[in-house]
Structure formats: C-alpha cells, structure tokens
C-alpha cells in the first residue's frame, strides 16, 4: 500500500463545485477527488428548485443583480454579484453541452420552462422537474469517472490540511502554504497524506449543526472547520438560512419542499385555512426566504401550532405530478399524503450557510495554494441572505474561475519538503466514546433552541457557555484517541457551531438571516463582514 498519494490537484468534496473544478483542471494534471461518502452524495444532489440565470429577453443582468442585493440585505459584495450574474449563463450553457436536459415548454418554440422563486422579480430558474441537483450531479460524476486524469476516492474523510505546521525541514520558506491534506480511509481506518500542488475545499455546508435540517448527514462543516484550524480566514458564520418549507413529519427526517412550489403559485395557510404571509410582507409567499421563514415561525408561535401548510390543491393534479414528481411521491409514500388533494404540512429547517471560508473572486483563500468553492466558501455573493437558486450557480461560476487561476498559477517554489506520516498513536475507548457521542444531539438541540430563526443576547450567551464545555470535551477526547469518521464529524460540527455562536454575538443588529429580538433594527456600523 502506498504511504502517500501525490497529485497536481486535490479536490475535497464531490458536489457541483468540486466536480466542475476537477473536470476543468484535469486536462492540465492529475486530480485526486476525496469524498467522505459515495461520489453522488452531496448537498447538490438534494437541490430541487433549479439554477437561476438571466435567460429570457424579458430579464436582464441588472434585475438579477438587484434581486440578489435586496435578498442579501446590504452585505453582498457587488463585484462578486456582478461576476455571478454576468458569467452565469455561459456556465449553464456548458452544463447543457455536457448533457443536462433542463425542462422545456411544450410549445413549438421549445423554449426553456423558466420558473420564478421567492425574491426574484422575473422567471429565471432553469430546472429538471424537482430533481435539478441530482440531474446535474449525475452528469458531472459520469464525466469525472470517464476522465483518465481523475481518480475518485470514496469513503475517504479529510482530517486536516497539511501546512507548515506538519512539514519537516522547511518551516521558513513554506510559511502559510497548503500542501494537501491528511485523509482517513474509512475501510481500513488508516490516515494517508494526500500531497498536491493545489488543494480545493468543496465540502459543502454545515446545517446538520441544527436539530432540523434539509441537509444530508454529511453536511457537518468539515472544510470550514479544517480551514479554521489552519488559520484561514472565515466570514459571516452567523448567517444561517432556514428554508421556510420542509416537510413536517414528527419522528422522521426533514425533507425539502422546494421554493419552486411557491414560485408556481402555492399558498401558505395556517391551521384555520387562512393565508397569512401578506401580514408580514407585501410580496407574501414570494418574499425572500428570511422573511418567509420568520413569518411562518411567528405564525406558529402566535397560534401555538406545530406547523403551517403549503396548499397546491388549486392546481390540476396531473400538472403537479408532472412538475413535482419527487415531492409528490415522497409525501405519498412517507406520510400518505396526496399533495394534489391535501395541503402539505411544513416547518422551517436549517438549509444553507451563507458564510464560510473567505475567498477572492478566483476562489483563492488566505492560504497559498488553497482554494475553496461552493457552500463552504464565502465569496461575498450571498450577503446576509441567499437569493433562491443562486447556490448552484455560485458553485459553477466560481469553480470555473478557480480552475482558470490554478491552471495559470505556478506553485510558489520551495525546497523539497518532507510530509510525515500521520501519528497513529491513541486508543479507542468504547465507554468514553459512548459518553462523548451524546454531544451530537446536544449540539443540535442547543443550536436549534438558542441560535435559530429568532435570537437574543441571553440565548446566545447561554449557547456559548454550553458549547464551550462541549468544545473542550471533544478536543480533549480527540487529542488522545484514534481518529474515526464519527469523531471527526463531531469535532468539526462542534467547531462550526462554536463559530456560528461567536459570530452571532458580535452582530448587535437584525439583518437578513440574523434576527435579534433585543436589536431589531439594522445598523450602519454593521455594514461589514464578521471575520474570524
């Protein structure tokens, strides 16, 4: 067995950002892709609604830019938004060229069937029914598996970035450089160094830090936590987007009920069957997500109800089954509910991290030879609240720019370094792990109860005190134990939860997704990023 894997490019994560980047750099060198589950398991796969881009003659770049800024509540970086919107259509054309078949109208022209979602003033969402992410992921994964320069390592879990703290014989000239990552092979439980000229973090988000989340189990904030431990700059972790509508299924996993249903004309009603969103915003169901989520949360608390309902029963049944087959089938099989005949019970759930690893417009982080892209990154596009369906677009656009940068860039010259093998010392204590692993559920409860849709200083301080104890417990156990996938996930989730709380405590205002009951107004002094 090899003691070290070497490549020109190391990609950690196999969603839309990681795979897009890998395919673009693969013609210029060998690429190793590391993914903690199977290649298809990513947040991309679960994206239902679609990809936003200026596509019709009735739309314009100016309108898409304006909508993004309005949703972002003053914190979007204008240069990043302009890059996203202006370059987006070209990146989508590339997807179509690869074989992604977006839905078209059943007309003689065969134009694309553009949808509208909350916060958008025009129809600009390209989609593949309600399975857009899965369609895109499938095509990209197929192309990656066929490329001779790409090797995919499934069930491999990144442990730490390799930096000057690890390399031997070269501490001076190797300052603030990433040399790759230590990676756990889950099958044989060995940690192997993956050395690379350039490393791309595309590990997705961290919404599993909350009790109710639309994200798969893998979304434990691994890339953000690793980057933070390596001293890389992180920004705006307080802005966690709660999707307004996940299926209310007590005892079951959260399931996303796409924004596209409201964009299609679905209405939100309370337990009495009355629409209520017009009381909270003139845009009603099509307001940005932060406003709709808070409206639902307020309505539930006011009426002491456990959920609200999304009503699609006023549409033709065949139309709904054709446009939203995945959601229709899931509700029918899971809770025996026919969404063409009965309203869907929904509640908000943690969905998307708008902050992350700070990057340039080319995906470059504050560490040399380390890039980040997708939900793990903070490009400045989303500000204080992400506009619906801008996430897949961000992954495409900035993966392309990062690939161009890496292809052009020559790694900083340095003398030959020696990367040591992972220190395998440490023991596994079943009894102690049994005690420590309970922190998984405690973290998620703390975050849901005290750091959720509506916050206060008192709640955040309480969360901070409890999270400090958990953080110290987990770090102590990690320092003396043999690494496992579960332990790494717990460590990363703890670190990310801690960052969210600390960032939230530094923003004494209400803006976008960060709503403080004791600081209900926006304040100009906070028109800046919260940087860790």
C-alpha–C-alpha distance, residues 214 and 394, integer Å: 19
Closest CA to 352 of 382, 375, 379, 373: 375
Final residue belonging to a domain, choices 348, 364, 393: 348
* Residue tagged active-site, from 91, 289, 386, 455: 289
Domain presence at residue 78: yes
Q: 345-367: string of b/e by CB count within 10 Å (b at 16+)?
A: bbbbbbbbbbbbbbbbbbbbbbb
Based on the fold, state whether residues 202 and 258 are members of the same structural domain.
no
Phi, psi of 507 (to 5 degrees): -110, 95
C-alpha–C-alpha distance, residues 139 and 13, integer Å: 16
Is 60 exceeded by the pLDDT of residue 97? yes
- Find where tokens 């949360």 sit: 297
Q: Specify the DSSP class assigned to residue 343.
A: P
Q: Cβ distance 375 to 355 under 8 Å?
A: no
Q: Cβ distance 353 to 234 under 8 Å?
A: no
Domain presence at residue 52: yes
Based on the fold, state whether residues 401 and 449 are members of the same structural domain.
no
Is 60 exceeded by the pLDDT of residue 173? no
Closest CA to 227 of 495, 20, 506: 495
The confidence band for 41, taking pLDDT boundaries of 50, 70 and 90, is: low
- Residues 476-514 have pLDDT tens digits of 999 999 999 999 999 999 999 999 999 999 999 999 999
C-alpha–C-alpha distance, residues 457 and 303, integer Å: 25
Burial label, 215 (beta-carbon count in 10 A; 0-12, 13-18, 19+): buried
CATH number reported for the structural domain that contains residue 294 in this entry: 3.90.700.10
> Per DSSP, what are the bridge partners of residue 8?
none
pLDDT at residue number 3? 85
Here the tokens at position 483 are 């690494």
pLDDT at residue number 431? 78
Based on the fold, state whether residues 314 and 230 are members of the same structural domain.
no
C-alpha–C-alpha distance, residues 203 and 228, integer Å: 14
- Assign 442 to helix, strand or coil: helix
C-alpha–C-alpha distance, residues 351 and 45, integer Å: 14
Based on the fold, state whether residues 167 and 21 are members of the same structural domain.
yes
The DSSP element (H or E) to which 428 belongs, if any, is: none
Domain presence at residue 312: yes
> Per DSSP, what are the bridge partners of residue 151?
32
Q: Cβ distance 35 to 153 under 8 Å?
A: yes
C-alpha–C-alpha distance, residues 127 and 94, integer Å: 15
Report the greatest alpha carbon distance in the chain: 72
Beta strands in 312-364 (DSSP E): 344-353, 356-358
> Per DSSP, what are the bridge partners of residue 378?
358
Burial label, 505 (beta-carbon count in 10 A; 0-12, 13-18, 19+): middle
pLDDT at residue number 317? 97
Please confirm, yes or no, whether 444 is among the known catalytic residues.
Answer: no
Is 60 exceeded by the pLDDT of residue 151? yes
DSSP 482-518: ---HHHHHHHHHHHHHHHHHHHHHT--S-BTTB-BTT
Domain presence at residue 14: yes
Based on the fold, state whether residues 149 and 181 are members of the same structural domain.
yes
Domain presence at residue 418: no
Domain encompassing residue 342: 248-348
pLDDT at residue number 381? 98
Query: Do strands 267-269 and 125-126 pair parallel, antiparallel, or not at all (unpaired)?
Result: unpaired
Is 70 exceeded by the pLDDT of residue 33? yes
The confidence band for 42, taking pLDDT boundaries of 50, 70 and 90, is: low
Q: What is the mean pLDDT of residues 218-238?
A: 97
Q: Cβ distance 230 to 236 under 8 Å?
A: no
- Residues 127-144 have pLDDT tens digits of 998 889 899 999 999 999
Based on the fold, state whether residues 318 and 176 are members of the same structural domain.
no
pLDDT at residue number 168? 65
Domain presence at residue 424: no
Here the tokens at position 526 are 């906070």
Here the tokens at position 398 are 């900035």
pLDDT at residue number 1? 45
Based on the fold, state whether residues 66 and 101 are members of the same structural domain.
yes
Here the tokens at position 453 are 């849709």
Burial label, 188 (beta-carbon count in 10 A; 0-12, 13-18, 19+): exposed
Based on the fold, state whether residues 10 and 139 are members of the same structural domain.
yes
Q: Distance from first CA to last CA of the chain, Å, rounded?
A: 39
CATH number reported for the structural domain that contains residue 231 in this entry: 3.50.50.60
Give me the sign of the Cα torsion angle 261, 263, 266, 271. Answer: positive
CATH number reported for the structural domain that contains residue 505 in this entry: 1.20.58.100
Domain presence at residue 530: no
Q: Which region holds residue 73: left if phi is over 0, alpha if psi is between -120 and 50, else beta?
A: left
Q: Cβ distance 254 to 351 under 8 Å?
A: no
- Find where tokens 């590339």 sit: 94
Q: What is the mean pLDDT of residues 322-327?
A: 94
Least confident of 209-213, 239-243, 340-344, 430-434: 430-434
pLDDT at residue number 43? 60
Based on the fold, state whether residues 385 and 444 are members of the same structural domain.
no
Based on the fold, state whether residues 221 and 159 are members of the same structural domain.
yes
Share of the chain above pLDDT 70, in %: 95
C-alpha–C-alpha distance, residues 14 and 358, integer Å: 20
Looking at the 3D structure of the chain, how many domains does it have?
Answer: 3
C-alpha–C-alpha distance, residues 506 and 457, integer Å: 10
- The mean pLDDT value of the chain amounts to 93
Final residue belonging to a domain, choices 348, 366, 384: 348
The full 3-state SS of 233-290, as one line of letters, equals CEECCCCEEEEEEEECCCCCCCCECCHHHHHCCCEEECCCCCECHHHCCCCHHHCCHH
Query: Do strands 377-378 and 356-358 pair parallel, antiparallel, or not at all (unpaired)?
Result: parallel
C-alpha–C-alpha distance, residues 279 and 89, integer Å: 36
User: Would the pTM of this model clear 0.85, i.e. be above it?
Assistant: yes
Least confident of 97-111, 154-168, 401-415, 511-525: 401-415
Domain presence at residue 531: no
Based on the fold, state whether residues 276 and 331 are members of the same structural domain.
yes
Q: What is the CA radius of gyration of the chain?
A: 23
Based on the fold, state whether residues 448 and 490 are members of the same structural domain.
yes
The DSSP element (H or E) to which 376 belongs, if any, is: none
Burial label, 400 (beta-carbon count in 10 A; 0-12, 13-18, 19+): buried
């Amino acid at each position: 067995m090899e003691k070290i894997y070497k490549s020109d490019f190391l990609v950690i994560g196999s969603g839309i950002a990681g795979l897009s980047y890998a395919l673009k750099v693969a013609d210029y060198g060998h690429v190793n892709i590391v993914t903690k589950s199977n290649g298809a398991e990513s947040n991309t796969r679960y994206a239902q609604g679609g990809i936003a881009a200026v596509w019709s003659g009735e739309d314009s770049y100016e309108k898409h830019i304006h909508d993004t800024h309005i949703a972002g509540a003053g914190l979007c970086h204008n240069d990043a938004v302009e890059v996203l919107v202006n370059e987006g259509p070209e990146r989508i054309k590339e997807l179509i060229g690869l074989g992604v078949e977006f839905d078209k109208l059943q007309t003689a022209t065969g134009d694309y069937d553009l949808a509208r979602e909350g916060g958008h003033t025009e129809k600009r969402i390209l989609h593949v029914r309600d399975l857009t992410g899965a369609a895109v992921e499938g095509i990209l994964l197929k192309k990656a598996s066929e490329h001779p320069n790409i090797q995919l390592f499934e069930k491999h879990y990144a442990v730490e970035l390799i930096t000057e703290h690890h390399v031997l014989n070269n501490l001076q000239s190797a300052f603030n450089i990433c040399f790759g990552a230590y990676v756990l092979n889950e099958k044989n439980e060995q940690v192997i160094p993956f050395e690379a000229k350039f490393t791309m973090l595309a590990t997705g988000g961290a919404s599993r830090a909350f009790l109710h989340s639309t994200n798969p189990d893998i979304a434990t904030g691994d890339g953000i936590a690793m980057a933070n431990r390596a001293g890389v700059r992180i920004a705006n972790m307080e802005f966690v987007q709660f999707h307004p509508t996940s299926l209310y299924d007590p005892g079951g996993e959260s399931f996303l009920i796409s924004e596209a249903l409201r964009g299609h004309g679905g209405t939100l009603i309370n337990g009495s069957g009355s629409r209520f969103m017009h009381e909270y915003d003139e845009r009603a169901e099509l307001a940005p997500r932060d406003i709709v989520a808070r409206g639902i949360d307020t309505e539930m608390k006011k009426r002491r109800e456990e959920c609200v309902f999304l009503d699609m029963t006023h549409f033709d049944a065949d139309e709904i089954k054709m446009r939203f087959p995945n959601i229709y089938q899931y509700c029918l099989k899971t809770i025996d509910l026919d969404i063409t005949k009965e309203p869907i019970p929904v509640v908000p759930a943690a969905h998307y991290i708008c902050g992350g690893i700070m990057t340039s417009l080319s995906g470059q982080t504050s560490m040399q030879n380390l890039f980040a892209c997708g939900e793990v990154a903070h490009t400045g596009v989303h500000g204080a609240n992400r506009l619906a369906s801008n996430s897949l677009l961000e992954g495409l656009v900035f993966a392309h720019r990062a690939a161009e940068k890496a292809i052009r860039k020559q790694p900083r010259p340095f003398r030959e370094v020696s990367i040591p093998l992972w220190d395998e010392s440490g023991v596994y204590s079943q009894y102690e792990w049994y005690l420590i692993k309970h922190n998984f559920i405690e973290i998620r409860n703390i975050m849901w109860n005290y750091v959720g849709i509506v916050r206060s200083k008192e709640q955040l301080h309480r969360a901070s005190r409890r999270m400090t104890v958990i953080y110290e417990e987990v770090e102590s156990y990690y320092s003396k134990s043999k690494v496992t996938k579960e332990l790494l996930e717990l460590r990363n989730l703890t670190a990310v939860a801690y960052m969210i709380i600390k960032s939230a405590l530094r923003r004494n205002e209400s803006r976008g997704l960060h709503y403080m009951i004791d600081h209900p107004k926006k304040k100009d002094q906070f028109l800046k990023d919260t940087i860790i």
